[in-house]
Chains A and B, each alone.
Chain A
Amino acid sequence: MQNNEEINRLKTLVQSLVDEAKKQGASGVEAGLSIDNGLSVSARLGEVETIEYHCDQGLGVSVYFGQRKGSASSNDLTPESLSETVKAACTIARYASEDPYSGLPDPQLMANDFPDLSLNHPWALETEEAIDLAVACEDAARGFDPRINNSEGATINSHQGIRVLGNSLGFLQGYRSSRHSISCSVLAGDDQQMQRDYWYSVARNPQDLENPVKVGERAAQRTVRRLGGRSLSTRQCPVIFSAEMASGLIGSLISAINGGNLYRKSSFLLDALNTQILPDFAHIFENPFLPGGLGSANYDGEGVRTLQRDIVKDGILQSYVLSSYSARKLGLQSTGNAGGVHNLIVEPGNHDLNGLLIQMDTGLLVTELMGQGVNMVTGDYSRGASGFWVEQGEIQYPVEEITIAGNLKDIFKHIVAIGNDVDCRGNIRSGSILIEEMAVAGE
């Protein structure tokens, strides 16, 4: 890897946090530090609108006095601040209760292999060049269709950072990573109606970004296809979650098998391990080691090794999503998921979205969801939606101002098909998902 001087400097700082906490009496310490620099440029109606220079830094420390824990953070990396932050964490630990489950991770689980995951691809992007890209992206959107009549602009983002993590078990690691994106949002309309939609592309390597013109065109196409949207009458019908929406649906499943929700009994999937939660054709696995993956990582937020593993196999739940603490609460071992999952992949089926539309024949294709109407405790699901009404496997007209509802336990069991039109822009990768039936409320 290139120039490691800066990482070494930050490692020294993290080590000094660990040492300082030990000096103040802590029996266990975990410390982390991050630096993030970036440029964000947006253009609207053909001209630059904002130029933002980002430079964020922060440090966090957790201390253990036996089984008592305290945490503190600061965005000031000066030596005085480091010492103050440690002191603040120690003060809190003194007041916290003994918790038999708290503490550093099991030393055997700490990561010790650190292959290059190709996470760092700096973009030598000058401000002027970023402006040109944003303008080109928005121009493509505005020129796509005469009905596009206004814009929220296009934005180019480029970020690069360093993360360092250390603890008193002797773990001390750091790595660089980058993240770049292009996004565009435009409006279309007439006297009757105004619609807006967007598209974006995100990647660790700028060369993997979609062409700005394509991003703009896609934003415009998504916007104009919403024109003429109307409500539906209230009914039960099959529903397809488009790939972009499907990752959110799978996100709810992951949340329900997250250790924190499980030990708080705030999940509709308590005691679901080794039981059927999805149809038997469904597989979900985690692959933290995808080169350049947005969720790729050799270790989790505690330094615990990440795992390539099945989460759901043949529809049966194989494993929870656990940190050291939640694992101990449940009498299990950490799965390396402190801070979340790392590239969760829903195995694609044989058909693309078109194939799924044909399979559904008549029903609702959902392309946008609104609100937070998911009850993790009960699995009750009710959210605002918009999308398209489908008959004989073909899109008939856009729909809006409707809700879709059901219970997630049933929804997951009644997945009929998973598409191969995988959306790879996030930490959860899924194709479109066809559900046998949901309640749709409208006018």
Chain B
Amino acid sequence: MALLERVCDSILVPHGMQTSDVDTVMENLMSSPVDAADIYFQSSRFESWQLEDGIVKEGSHSIERGAGVRVVSGEKTGFAYSDRIELPLLLKAANNVKAIARQGQNKRCRIIAPKEWPLYYSQQDPLVGMSDQDKIDLLRMLDEKTRKMDSRIIEVMVNLSGLHEYILVANQDGSLAADIRPLVRLNVSVIMQENDRRERGSMGGGGRSDYQMFLQDDAALSYAEEAVRQARVNLEAVEAPAGNMTVVLGSGWPGILLHEAIGHGLEGDFNRKGTSAFSGKIGERVASDLCTVVDDGTLTGRRGSLNIDDEGVPTEQTVLIENGILKGYMQDKLNARLMGAQPTGNGRRESYAHLPMPRMTNTYMLAGQQHPDEIVGSVKKGLYAKNFGGGQVDITSGKFVFSASEAYLIENGKITRPVKGATLIGNGPDVLTRVSMVGNDLELDSGVGTCGKEGQSVPVGVGQPTLKIDGLTVGGTNV
């Protein structure tokens, strides 16, 4: 496979290593009574450019490479890593981590690694795909055009970043899996002032692609327009209501609801340990029958997509909830083995210096039947939330929050006044049972999501159609 050769040439060869050296480390690891082992090699380059005050102030470039060595014995994991990809250091790491196997159970299971899998993004290096001068020109053009959009704009900030990453996973069966992953992102944010009031608007996008994606269909400019539109709306916003009410969530990024309310609770590790509010609920109703939710790492060019996960398992579309019934969990190898399930291509890690665990890729709800206007039209009094900031969940109690950054009152079936941002809070295992209408307008987010779990950050995607939830607590100030 050409991809594998390219990755080996890039990760191993410059450090004087060959695939036979990888075998040597693996043999050393497997000489102890362990159940599973892997070695993860990573080499990545990252750049970012920032514009503010009308000038490209700063750029930065970083290189990260290294290898992580892991052994698993029963529920026990030993892990060490090295920033230098050198045989003696990897052997030292291997010797260290084998200590975990002192009470090893040795129930080695052979997972037959697939030889080929589909590719969902290009391998091109985005950092060199556009000249530095063109990157600068793009930022300057955006700044200039954004400032002309509204005389009340007092600050424009533009960030452009790109990542090109090679990864190589060596598994206990001697198989090697490789991937080359590009990732780009562009963000425009503005601050607008009218009299004494200042408000922010921000929009961005990206994906596993190159910088050209920001030029196609004037995508970059559309982010700027959206940021300006949001700031304008927020300048008009009045106090948000407080209390339990009907909430209509817009399509796309509001899908962060799914990520927080159910996504994390359906990650294999929490369910194996019985610490999730969803533990032991497979086959039970956790949503209204209008809801089907999937996690899908196979979407072309998406920020959360992966050809293979960080354990070398090809990604797939995993059905989490089908017509309201809980169907399955997202698994990495360790938790799949301990739960007697199959890995689902959700084993991810921030870098070689972090342990893999079950993580989401792109999580979204499938489209329903209703036109979004019909959904809003059905609400006598409620909140329409169109854009969100971040969210968080306590997977044990099931309580989750997500913060609206653009919202409106719905009065007699019509969207009326914009209201200030507010946090929405709910209970994961039952919030979706109150979904009473699902729109026909499924949309995925524009590619800006980053998910944090146990201190590790990974890029993810979310999406949903317009949804109506009969009762969610809105944390405004207007009591």
Chain A residues in the interface with B (C-beta under 8 A): 44, 47-57, 69-76, 81, 84-85, 88-89, 91-92, 95-99, 102, 127, 150, 152, 187, 193-196, 226, 229, 231, 234-236, 264-266, 370-373, 375, 377-378, 380, 382-384, 386, 400-407, 439-443
Do A370 and B394 touch (CB < 8 A)? yes
For the complex, what is the distance from the CA of A400 to the CA of B76, rounded to whole Å? 34
For the complex, what is the distance from the CA of A48 to the CA of B101, rounded to whole Å? 11
DSSP class of B's interface residues: helix, strand, loop or mixed? strand
Do A196 and B394 touch (CB < 8 A)? yes
- Residues facing A in B391-409 (CB within 8 A) are 391-394, 396-397, 399-403
Contacts of B99 in A (CB 8 A): 51, 127
Do A384 and B425 touch (CB < 8 A)? yes
Task: Of the listed stretches B20-28, B109-117, B270-278, B371-379, name the one at the interface; the rest are far from the partner chain.
Answer: B270-278
Taking each of A73, A85, A236, which has the highest tally of chain B beta carbons within 10 Å of its own beta carbon? A73
For the complex, what is the distance from the CA of A302 to the CA of B296, rounded to whole Å? 44
How distant is B93 from chain A, measured CB to nearest CB, in Å?
A: 7
Contact of B63 among A49, A74, A91, A403 (CB under 8 A): A74
Known: A74-B62, A372-B403. A95 touches B79 (CB 8 A): no
For the complex, what is the distance from the CA of A231 to the CA of B471, rounded to whole Å? 14
Contact of A264 among B132, B157, B275, B473 (CB under 8 A): B157
Do A194 and B396 touch (CB < 8 A)? yes
Contact with A along B307-340 (1 / 0, CB 8 A): 0000000000000000000000000000000000
For the complex, what is the distance from the CA of A229 to the CA of B197, rounded to whole Å? 39
For the complex, what is the distance from the CA of A56 to the CA of B64, rounded to whole Å? 11
- Residues facing A in B204-255 (CB within 8 A) are 240, 242-244
Do B397 and A400 touch (CB < 8 A)? yes
Do A72 and B61 touch (CB < 8 A)? yes
Contacts of A441 in B (CB 8 A): 242-244, 425, 473-476, 479
B96 contacts the other chain (CB 8 A): yes
Known: A371-B392, A382-B475, A400-B397. A49 touches B77 (CB 8 A): yes
For the complex, what is the distance from the CA of A208 to the CA of B255, rounded to whole Å? 45
B82 contacts the other chain (CB 8 A): yes
Contacts of A226 in B (CB 8 A): 397
B350 contacts the other chain (CB 8 A): no
For the complex, what is the distance from the CA of A95 to the CA of B139, rounded to whole Å? 12
Contacts of B400 in A (CB 8 A): 370, 384
Do B397 and A195 touch (CB < 8 A)? yes
B257 contacts the other chain (CB 8 A): no
Measured CB to CB, the nearest residue on chain A to B424 is: A403
A-B contact pairs, 6 of them (CB 8 A): A47-B75, A193-B397, A382-B475, A439-B477, A439-B478, A440-B479
B145 contacts the other chain (CB 8 A): no
Do A401 and B83 touch (CB < 8 A)? no
Do A383 and B242 touch (CB < 8 A)? no
Known: A102-B57, A265-B191, A382-B475. A52 touches B79 (CB 8 A): yes
Task: Of the listed stretches B118-126, B171-179, B415-423, name the one at the interface; the rest are far from the partner chain.
Answer: B415-423
Contacts of A401 in B (CB 8 A): 399, 425-427, 473
Contacts of A48 in B (CB 8 A): 76, 100
Interface size on B, residues (CB 8 A): 80
Contacts of A85 in B (CB 8 A): 61, 63
For the complex, what is the distance from the CA of A150 to the CA of B277, rounded to whole Å? 13
Contacts of A440 in B (CB 8 A): 242, 479
Contacts of B193 in A (CB 8 A): 265
Contacts of A56 in B (CB 8 A): 83, 353
Contact of B55 among A97, A378, A405 (CB under 8 A): A97
For the complex, what is the distance from the CA of A196 to the CA of B277, rounded to whole Å? 11
How distant is A433 from chain B, measured CB to nearest CB, in Å?
A: 19
Do B191 and A76 touch (CB < 8 A)? no
Known: A75-B83, A264-B191. A443 touches B473 (CB 8 A): yes
Contacts of A229 in B (CB 8 A): 397
Do B390 and A442 touch (CB < 8 A)? no
B384 contacts the other chain (CB 8 A): no
Contacts of A193 in B (CB 8 A): 397
How distant is B69 from chain A, measured CB to nearest CB, in Å?
A: 9
For the complex, what is the distance from the CA of A355 to the CA of B431, rounded to whole Å? 38
For the complex, what is the distance from the CA of A195 to the CA of B422, rounded to whole Å? 25
For the complex, what is the distance from the CA of A377 to the CA of B197, rounded to whole Å? 9
Measured CB to CB, the nearest residue on chain B to A270 is: B198
How distant is B401 from chain A, measured CB to nearest CB, in Å?
A: 4
For the complex, what is the distance from the CA of A98 to the CA of B240, rounded to whole Å? 43
For the complex, what is the distance from the CA of A380 to the CA of B239, rounded to whole Å? 10
Contacts of A53 in B (CB 8 A): 79-81, 93, 96-97
Known: A74-B63, A194-B396. A373 touches B84 (CB 8 A): no
For the complex, what is the distance from the CA of A32 to the CA of B155, rounded to whole Å? 31
For the complex, what is the distance from the CA of A355 to the CA of B83, rounded to whole Å? 52
Measured CB to CB, the nearest residue on chain B to A400 is: B399
Contacts of B132 in A (CB 8 A): 91-92, 95
Contact of A375 among B93, B421, B474 (CB under 8 A): B421
Contact of B403 among A44, A194, A373, A386 (CB under 8 A): A373
Contacts of B199 in A (CB 8 A): 377-378
How distant is B326 from chain A, measured CB to nearest CB, in Å?
A: 16
Contacts of B76 in A (CB 8 A): 47-51
Contacts of A99 in B (CB 8 A): 53, 55, 57
Do B242 and A380 touch (CB < 8 A)? no
Do B389 and A373 touch (CB < 8 A)? yes
Do A380 and B420 touch (CB < 8 A)? yes
Contacts of A84 in B (CB 8 A): 63
Measured CB to CB, the nearest residue on chain A to B471 is: A443
How distant is A56 from chain B, measured CB to nearest CB, in Å?
A: 6
Contact with A along B49-90 (1 / 0, CB 8 A): 000110111111111111000000001111111111000000
Taking each of B133, B399, B476, which has the highest tally of chain A beta carbons within 10 Å of its own beta carbon? B399
Do A69 and B244 touch (CB < 8 A)? no
B468 contacts the other chain (CB 8 A): no
* Additional A-B contact list (5), CB under 8 Å, known A73-B62, A152-B273: A51-B99, A69-B57, A195-B397, A383-B423, A402-B473
Contacts of A195 in B (CB 8 A): 396-397
